[in-house]
Structure 1
């Protein structure tokens, strides 16, 4: 029977890589389950009746809840969320403070995506000057993102940002407002509003998990193959290194 005697180097490689590959696979499975629960949560809250803005601060779970608004935009303090594409085209999302008349609450409303093909000129958009009725829903980021926080004290508006945190922006504007972003539904004041609920669906995470587990399996298979063949390779090497017999030695002296 073949003896399993792997080399020290291959054992060290497996001890380092195998736990990493397996943990990455289970991490992808966990992320996929989080996304699945998120989509279920989105569907449930989107199907609930719309709520008024005055209930938002006291709602325990406002994520994805639909909200009816009436009020006016603050066009003087617009934010342009960068690094947003649609169908391969560069653009930005237009986010503006909105004052709801019924509740007196300030809200950060995302009016949707608009193209920005030429970075040498600012994006073109307009803002309703009169009070408007809006349908929106609450968006809460599933996790912390790297942010270049907007310098709202600067005199130049609109501001180009990579991410927003309304809870930090309101104090800089000397206002009290809702801590999360609201995204408009399609309507007169909205631009393109086809946001994906999640950037990567659960099935993608499952596919990545399968890849990590397949790599772990291949690593174990290679380790076993090398371990069982290591002894044979060592024996063959020793045979090749043995000195020649006496007859050969005498022939070399002649």
Structure 2
């Protein structure tokens, strides 16, 4: 039995070329996204080490690639707070506590991410109260964390005890709940071992490694398409 190359039809050639072009384009796009995410993570890390700016300046300069380090003075609204439930840190589940903060310089209120609290099985989870007087805060001025599929609608109006619980953060819904204007970004407080909270901040995004994994899959499809094309047209023949 000898192998002989059989001339492929135009449809097979066109289909293979389209597949190779599409899969290569998708693989390259995933590699570009991985590079962009690495740059974003690096920018996030650099910002945390910079000298803080005022909240008004942060509101002017913030962007998808820039998370200003902010120092802001004001007061917590001690009557209102929110628990972002079902959060995972490593092997632990818990909540993230958000306080409502009124900046001294005016403008919309600001949601302050005070940090992560792990859930305790043996007793009720304590929720540290916010400071009652004037306070200066510093942290990263960042976008609201992303959320998955929203099920059940807005649960805030039906709750009567504080802090209220939610499985996603929607600044419009919270603004309606507290009856005042609210910034569409949040403040991620700087780490403080004495606070009782865990504060390890990274942008809410797909990690670069996952993008590279998807790129590998798309480039594997390129190899598979070429291999199938070759096998179909490099066939055995009876001698």
Same fold, TM-score > 0.5, yes or no: yes
Aligned residues between the structures = 231
Given the two structures, how large is their TM-score scaled by the length of structure 1? 0.72
Inter-partner Cα distance in structure 1 for 2:147 and 2:16: 33
Inter-partner Cα distance in structure 1 for 2:67 and 2:88: 22
Q: Is the 8 A contact 1:150 1:159 kept in 2?
A: no
Inter-partner Cα distance in structure 2 for 1:9 and 1:124: 67
Inter-partner Cα distance in structure 1 for 2:159 and 2:62: 36
Q: Is the 8 A contact 2:78 2:132 kept in 1?
A: no
1:4-45 Cα offsets, whole Å, 9 max, x none, are: 356999889857865654343133123213212312432453
Q: 1:138 offset after TM fit, Å?
A: 1.1
Q: Return closer, same or farther for 1:107/1:198 CA change in 2, 3 Å cut-off.
A: closer
Gaps of 5+ in 2: none
Name the one with the larger helix percent: 1
Equivalent in the alignment of 1:174: 179
Given the two structures, how large is their TM-score scaled by the length of structure 2? 0.76
Inter-partner Cα distance in structure 1 for 2:149 and 2:20: 30
Inter-partner Cα distance in structure 2 for 1:24 and 1:80: 39
| SS of corresponding position for 1:130 | coil
| SS of corresponding position for 2:188 | strand
1:190-222 Cα offsets, whole Å, 9 max, x none, are: 610013335543344224312320232133113
Gaps of 5+ in 1: 240-254
Equivalent in the alignment of 1:61: 62
Flag the structure with larger Rg: 1
Does 2:99 correspond to 1:96? yes
Name the one with the larger strand percent: 2
Inter-partner Cα distance in structure 2 for 1:207 and 1:195: 24
Inter-partner Cα distance in structure 1 for 2:120 and 2:107: 37
Q: 1:85 offset after TM fit, Å?
A: 1.2
Equivalent in the alignment of 2:166: 161
Q: Is the 8 A contact 2:145 2:169 kept in 1?
A: no
